[in-house]
């Protein structure tokens, strides 16, 4: 029998606060957070893995419904290298300084074209490296 959880309550707020505090959680950590939120609210933790996963998805969806009006959402991402699932709070709004082109122009003034190219090369090197780092060369 599926576990009944009230529409939106403290378990949702505890879960959201946990994600906000940690930033990014892997699947094991998010399950531990769910267990903690449910235990603190005296809600039975499902023993069946599929039931527990469905409950987590329902809780996340209910949280997302509440925080969407402030351009936030909880999203799941997958590490391309090892396939690990991660959950994180994501800001969906664009930061604006009047116009995104205006911000780009300001950045161009702050750094020279050579410096920007150097940053781009370093970022590319980090992203392509297996250890996600660069040597001191």
pLDDT on residue 109:
58
Query: Is 5 a domain residue?
Result: no
Q: For residue 4, tell me if it sits in a domain.
A: no
What are the pLDDT digits (tens) for 83-113?
899 999 998 876 554 455 555 555 555 667 7
pLDDT reading at 6 higher than 50: yes
Give me the pLDDT at residue 111, please: 66
* Cα dist from 134 to 78, 114, 122, whole Å: 23, 19, 8
SS3 of 2-58: the string is CCCCCCCCHHHHHHHHHHHHHCEEEHHHHHHHHHHHHHHCCCCCCCCHHHHHHHHHH
**Please, what is the end-to-end C-alpha distance for the chain in angstroms?**
60
| 59 vs 121, more confident | 59
Domains identified in the chain, total number = 2
Provide the residue range defining the domain that includes 78. 10-91
| 46 shares a domain with 107 | no
Looking at the fold, whether 51 and 105 belong to one and the same domain comes out as no
pTM, two decimal places: 0.65
Q: Are residues 79 and 130 in the same domain?
A: no
Residues 26-72 pLDDT 10s: 999 999 999 999 999 999 999 999 999 999 999 999 999 999 988 89
Same structural domain, 67 and 40? yes
3 falls within a domain: no
């Amino acid at each position: 029998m599926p576990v009944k959880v009230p529409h939106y309550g403290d378990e949702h707020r505890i879960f959201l606060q946990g994600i906000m505090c940690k930033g990014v959680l892997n699947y094991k950590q998010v399950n531990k957070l769910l267990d903690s939120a449910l235990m603190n609210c005296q809600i039975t933790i499902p023993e069946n893995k599929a039931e527990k996963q469905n409950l987590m998805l329902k809780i996340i969806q209910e949280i997302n419904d509440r925080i969407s009006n402030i351009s936030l959402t909880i999203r799941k991402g997958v590490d391309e290298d090892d396939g690990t699932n991660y959950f994180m709070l994501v800001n969906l709004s664009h930061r604006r300084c009047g116009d995104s082109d205006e911000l780009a122009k300001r950045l161009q003034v702050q750094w020279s074209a050579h410096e920007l190219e150097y940053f781009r090369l370093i970022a590319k090197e980090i992203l392509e490296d297996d250890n996600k780092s660069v040597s001191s060369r």
